[in-house]
Amino acid sequence: MRCVIAPEARVTPEGEVRRDREGNPQWITGLSVRQAEGRRTDVIHVIVSGIEPQGVIEGAEVRVTGLWANEWAVDGRTGTSWRADAITPVPTASSAPSASPSAAGGRGKGGDS
């Protein structure tokens, strides 16, 4: 999955931050999802409660933990709401620590052991 809309506070029509049953603020993030068959992708808006997802930026690959869907119907309208326990960035090769020769079991410069 990739982030297509960075996390932002989920707000009521009056502009107040929405909160879950425990009083935690809710955050909404737009994610692109490729369908299992074919080349079609969808954007889903995933809600998490608690602290704002950190390090999740537009275009970044993300890991979603505890994703679930809830089908709803209100006043003749229907839809699916998506929730998750967490959304975290997937580490990239440039953000992973590089292996030094000593960490990889090799010798450092000029080192006779």
Strands 77-83 and 68-74 come out as antiparallel
pLDDT at 107: 44
For the chain, the average pLDDT equals 87
Average pLDDT over residues 62-84: 96
Residue 106 has pLDDT above 60, yes or no: no
What pLDDT, on a 0 to 100 scale, did the predictor assign at position 97? 56
Quick one: which of 97, 67, 80 has its CA closest to 1?
Answer: 67
Provide the pLDDT for residue 93.
73
Q: Are 27 and 17 in contact (CB under 8 A)?
A: no
d(CA 89, CA 55): 6
Which pTM does this prediction carry? 0.76
